[in-house]
Chains A and B, each alone.
Chain A
Amino acid sequence: MAKLNLNVNGVTKAVDVDPSMPLLWVLRETLGMTGTKYSCGIAQCGACTVHLDGQPIRSCVLPVSAVSESTKITTIEGLSEDLSHPVQKAWAQLDVPQCGYCQPGMMMAAAGLLNNKPNATDADIDREVTNICRCGTFQRVREGIHLAQDIMKSTKA
Chain B
Amino acid sequence: MKSSIHMTRRRFVLGSLSAGAGLSLGVLPALELSAGHHGGDVLDEVNAWVTIGSDDSVTIRIARSEMGQGTLTGLAQLVAEELECDWEKVTWSFPTPGDNLKRKRIWGSFSTGGSQGVRSSQQYVREGGAAARMMLVAEAADQWGVPAASCRVEKGVIYHDPTKRSLRYGEVAAVASRQAVPTEVALKDPADWTIAGQPLKRLDTLEKLDGSLIYGADIQLPEMLVASIVDCPVMGGSLKGFDDTKALKMPGVKAVVPVKTQTGTDGVAVVGTSWWHANEALKQLNIEWDLGPNAQMNDASITALLESGLDASEAFNGNWEGDVESALSDAVTRVEAIYKVPAQNHAPMEPMNATARYTSERCEVWCPTQNGEAALAAASEASGLPIEQCEVYKTILGGGFGRRGAADYVHQVVAIAMQFPGTPIKLQWSREEDQMHGFYHPTTMAKMRGSLDEAGNLTGLHMRISGQSIIAGLMPQRLVNGADFVTFQGVVKGGLNPGMDDHQMCYSIPNLKVDHAMRNPAVRPGFWRGVNVNQNAIYLECFMDELAHKAGRDPLEFRLALLKDKPKAAAVLQAVADKGAWGTEDGLGRGLAVLYAFGSYVAACAEVTVTDGELKMHRIVAATDCGTAVNPQQIAAQVEGSFVYGLSAALLSQITFDSGVVQEKNFDRYPSMRIKDMPKVETIVMPSGGVYGGVGEPTIAVAAPAVLNAIFAATGQRVRTLPVARQLASA
Residues of A that sit less than 8 Å from B by CB: 1, 8-9, 18, 21-22, 25, 28-42, 44-45, 47, 75-83, 88, 91-92, 95-104, 107, 125-127, 129-142
From 373 to 406 in chain B, residues with beta carbon under 8 angstroms from any chain A beta carbon are: 396-401
Q: Which residue of B lies closest to A126 (CB)?
A: B676
**B675 near A40 (CB under 8 angstroms)?**
no
Partner-contacting stretch, out of B10-18, B76-84, B157-165, B555-563:
B10-18
Q: CB < 8 Å: which of A36, A126, A134 contacts B348?
A: A134
**B67 near A21 (CB under 8 angstroms)?**
no
In the assembled complex, 13 residue pairs joining A and B whose CB atoms fall closer than 8 Å, in A order, are A29-B226, A29-B276, A33-B19, A44-B667, A76-B210, A79-B210, A81-B23, A83-B209, A98-B641, A99-B398, A100-B205, A127-B676, A132-B667
Name the distance in Å between B180's Cβ and chain A's nearest Cβ. Answer: 40
Given contacts A42-B666, A129-B675, A131-B674, are A88 and B276 in contact (CB under 8 A)? no
Q: Which interface residue of A44, A80, A88, A95 has the most chain B CB atoms within 10 A? A: A95
Q: CB < 8 Å: which of B22, B275, B637, B642 contacts A25?
A: B275
**A34 near B218 (CB under 8 angstroms)?**
yes
**A82 near B23 (CB under 8 angstroms)?**
yes
- Inter-chain contact count A-B, CB under 8 Å? 204
Find chain B residues with CB under 8 A from A39 CB. 349-351, 431
Q: Which interface residue of A83, A91, A100, A107 has the most chain B CB atoms within 10 A? A: A100
**B274 near A139 (CB under 8 angstroms)?**
no
Q: Which interface residue of B208, B226, B400, B401 has the most chain A CB atoms within 10 A? A: B208
Contact flags (1/0) for B705-723 with A, using CB distance below 8 Å?
0000000000000000000
Indicate if B640 sits at the interface (CB-CB under 8 A).
yes
Find chain A residues with CB under 8 A from B398 CB. 37, 99-101
Q: Which residue of A lies closest to B20 (CB)?
A: A77
- Tell me what chain A mostly uses at the interface: helix, strand, loop, or mixed: loop
Q: Which interface residue of A25, A47, A133, A140 has the most chain B CB atoms within 10 A? A: A133
Find chain B residues with CB under 8 A from A142 CB. 675, 678
Indicate if B527 sits at the interface (CB-CB under 8 A).
no
Q: Which residue of A lies closest to B208 (CB)?
A: A100
Indicate if B69 sits at the interface (CB-CB under 8 A).
yes
**B277 near A141 (CB under 8 angstroms)?**
no
From 591 to 614 in chain B, residues with beta carbon under 8 angstroms from any chain A beta carbon are: none
Find chain A residues with CB under 8 A from B634 CB. 95
Q: CB < 8 Å: which of B17, B668, B675 contacts A141?
A: B675
Name the distance in Å between B79's Cβ and chain A's nearest Cβ. Answer: 20
Given contacts A33-B18, A133-B644, A138-B673, are A99 and B349 in contact (CB under 8 A)? yes
**A101 near B681 (CB under 8 angstroms)?**
no
Indicate if B293 sits at the interface (CB-CB under 8 A).
no
**B640 near A136 (CB under 8 angstroms)?**
yes
Q: Which interface residue of A126, A131, A138 has the most chain B CB atoms within 10 A? A: A138
Given contacts A101-B399, A125-B675, are A25 and B17 in contact (CB under 8 A)? no
**A136 near B673 (CB under 8 angstroms)?**
yes
**B349 near A139 (CB under 8 angstroms)?**
no
**B674 near A98 (CB under 8 angstroms)?**
no
Residues of B that sit less than 8 Å from A by CB: 15-20, 22-23, 67-70, 201-202, 204-206, 208-215, 217-218, 220, 226, 251, 273-277, 347-351, 396-401, 428, 430-431, 633-634, 637, 640-645, 648, 666-668, 672-676, 678, 680-681
**A136 near B18 (CB under 8 angstroms)?**
no
**B211 near A38 (CB under 8 angstroms)?**
no
CA–CA, A100 and B160, complex, Å: 44
Find chain B residues with CB under 8 A from A130 CB. 674-676
Name the distance in Å between A98's Cβ and chain B's nearest Cβ. Answer: 3
Beyond A30-B274, A140-B637: 5 further Cβ-contacts under 8 Å? A34-B214, A77-B19, A83-B210, A99-B400, A101-B350
5 shortest A-B CB distances, which residue pairs?
A35-B211, A136-B644, A101-B398, A99-B68, A100-B208
**A99 near B667 (CB under 8 angstroms)?**
no
Name the distance in Å between A130's Cβ and chain B's nearest Cβ. Answer: 5
Name the distance in Å between A140's Cβ and chain B's nearest Cβ. Answer: 7
**A136 near B16 (CB under 8 angstroms)?**
no
**B640 near A139 (CB under 8 angstroms)?**
yes
**A40 near B667 (CB under 8 angstroms)?**
yes
Name the distance in Å between B70's Cβ and chain A's nearest Cβ. Answer: 7
**B211 near A77 (CB under 8 angstroms)?**
yes
Find chain B residues with CB under 8 A from A8 CB. 19
Name the distance in Å between A33's Cβ and chain B's nearest Cβ. Answer: 6
Name the distance in Å between B632's Cβ and chain A's nearest Cβ. Answer: 12
CA–CA, A39 and B204, complex, Å: 21
CA–CA, A129 and B476, complex, Å: 44
**B430 near A41 (CB under 8 angstroms)?**
yes
Name the distance in Å between B351's Cβ and chain A's nearest Cβ. Answer: 7
Q: Which interface residue of A80, A97, A127 has the most chain B CB atoms within 10 A? A: A97
Find chain A residues with CB under 8 A from B204 CB. 100
Find chain B residues with CB under 8 A from A38 CB. 217, 351, 428
Q: Which interface residue of B18, B251, B276, B399 has the most chain A CB atoms within 10 A? A: B276
**A78 near B19 (CB under 8 angstroms)?**
yes
**B251 near A1 (CB under 8 angstroms)?**
yes
**B675 near A100 (CB under 8 angstroms)?**
no
**B277 near A18 (CB under 8 angstroms)?**
yes
Given contacts A88-B210, A99-B398, A100-B213, are A139 and B678 in contact (CB under 8 A)? yes
**A99 near B397 (CB under 8 angstroms)?**
yes
Q: CB < 8 Å: which of B205, B209, B274, B349 contacts A134?
A: B349
Find chain B residues with CB under 8 A from A30 CB. 274
**A34 near B667 (CB under 8 angstroms)?**
no
Q: Which residue of A lies closest to B647 (CB)?
A: A136
Given contacts A40-B431, A45-B667, are A134 and B17 in contact (CB under 8 A)? no
**B68 near A25 (CB under 8 angstroms)?**
no
Find chain B residues with CB under 8 A from A88 CB. 209-210
**A99 near B67 (CB under 8 angstroms)?**
yes
Find chain B residues with CB under 8 A from A9 CB. 19
Name the distance in Å between A59's Cβ and chain B's nearest Cβ. Answer: 12
Find chain B residues with CB under 8 A from A138 CB. 640, 644, 673-675, 678
Given contacts A41-B431, A102-B349, are A97 and B645 in contact (CB under 8 A)? no
Find chain A residues with CB under 8 A from B674 CB. 129-132, 138
Q: Which residue of A lies closest to B432 (CB)?
A: A41
Q: CB < 8 Å: which of B201, B350, B676 contacts A95?
A: B201
Q: CB < 8 Å: which of B206, B212, B428, B430 contacts A92?
A: B206
Given contacts A45-B667, A126-B676, are A95 and B275 in contact (CB under 8 A)? no
CA–CA, A70 and B430, complex, Å: 32
Q: Which interface residue of B208, B209, B428, B640 has the most chain A CB atoms within 10 A? A: B209
Name the distance in Å between B634's Cβ and chain A's nearest Cβ. Answer: 8
Q: Which residue of B lies closest to A139 (CB)?
A: B640
Q: Which residue of A lies closest to B641 (CB)?
A: A136
CA–CA, A54 and B294, complex, Å: 50
Name the distance in Å between B700's Cβ and chain A's nearest Cβ. Answer: 10
